[in-house]
Amino acid sequence: MTDADRPEALRTPDDRFHDLPGFPWRPHYVEDLPGFPGLRLHHLDEGRRDGPVFFCLHGQPTWSYLYRRMLPVFAEAGRVVAPDLFGFGRSDKPVDDGWYSFTRHRDSLLRFVEALDLRDITLVCQDWGGLLGLTLPVDMPDRFSRLIVMNTGLGTGEHSLGEGFEAWKAYNRSQPDMDVAKLIRRATPVLTEAEAAAYGAPFPDVRYKAGVRRFPELVPASPDADGAAVSRRARDFLKTAWNGPVFMAVGMQDPVIPPKAMAYLCSQIRGCPEPMQVPDAGHFVQEWGAPVARAALDAFARAGAA
């Protein structure tokens, strides 16, 4: 390992995370994952060790704070592990926009699962948490047992990303120093000002926002784009070979990934039942997450898969 292997990265000061509303959990870190020298990745790790693992993956521009309403419910049933992707939350943030790629982030999640030796995993995903997370079981079929899927998709590169997503990409490009707190508050008006500010805590200034800027551009938009091939392979696996129970919840007010897109995704996952509709929820469904989590656990229990 040489200094040339280590990307220049920033680490958000710890005092930015003091006294966040509804977020009492202490941080955990893994360092130097294979292929990621010099980088530290943060995760939450709560709950029981004698139950399934709830592997909660956030998207852009959020972090594990997004799961604070679901975590207590899941922690009663098992172990909750919620990492922050590189560039987000309390994880290190490479400063070069070009460092960020679909494959690099997918690889970081594969190596993280291996490093913690996570098994009997319930994947809980939304936004980029699904774009990346739904591609993991095809390469780790013995580790993943259940799916809880919220507003997300698979980046196969075969279909238009839709007007809503293209509008989001254009807006994101116009905001290199995105006011994350303001964005989340506008999209999720049920938040208090303090809760919205917590979403902005990881990003003291524009230097910390390379991941925020870059992620919308990484969604595979053509069949040969980075991530498209593995997404198609994952789609085929989920459609024909997936054997675990599935629970889907849809934020019905989401303009970026609307209910129609979620209905299509449901049709691509073997055994996906009629989704739970969350009428008032927008893109960030987890902010309505406690009843969603309870409904998922109840559904799994009825199926004998809790």
- Residues with active-site annotation: 127, 254, 283
Q: Which residue has the tokens 């506008």?
A: 186
Q: Pick from 249, 241, 289, 222: which is nearest to 142 by CA?
A: 241
Spatial distance between the Cα atoms of 239 and 233, rounded to a whole number of angstroms: 10
User: With contact defined as beta carbons under 8 Å apart, do 100 and 214 qualify?
Assistant: yes
Contacts 24+ apart (CB under 8 A), 169-173: 169/216, 169/217, 172/212, 172/213, 172/216, 173/216, 173/217
Q: Pick from 250, 40, 28: which is nearest to 130 by CA?
A: 250
Q: Which residue has the tokens 């000002």?
A: 193
Q: Which amino acid type is present at position 273? A: P
Sign of CA dihedral 38, 41, 45, 50: negative
Spatial distance between the Cα atoms of 69 and 86, rounded to a whole number of angstroms: 22
User: With contact defined as beta carbons under 8 Å apart, do 47 and 74 qualify?
Assistant: yes
Spatial distance between the Cα atoms of 285 and 288, rounded to a whole number of angstroms: 6
Spatial distance between the Cα atoms of 168 and 171, rounded to a whole number of angstroms: 5
User: With contact defined as beta carbons under 8 Å apart, do 265 and 134 qualify?
Assistant: no
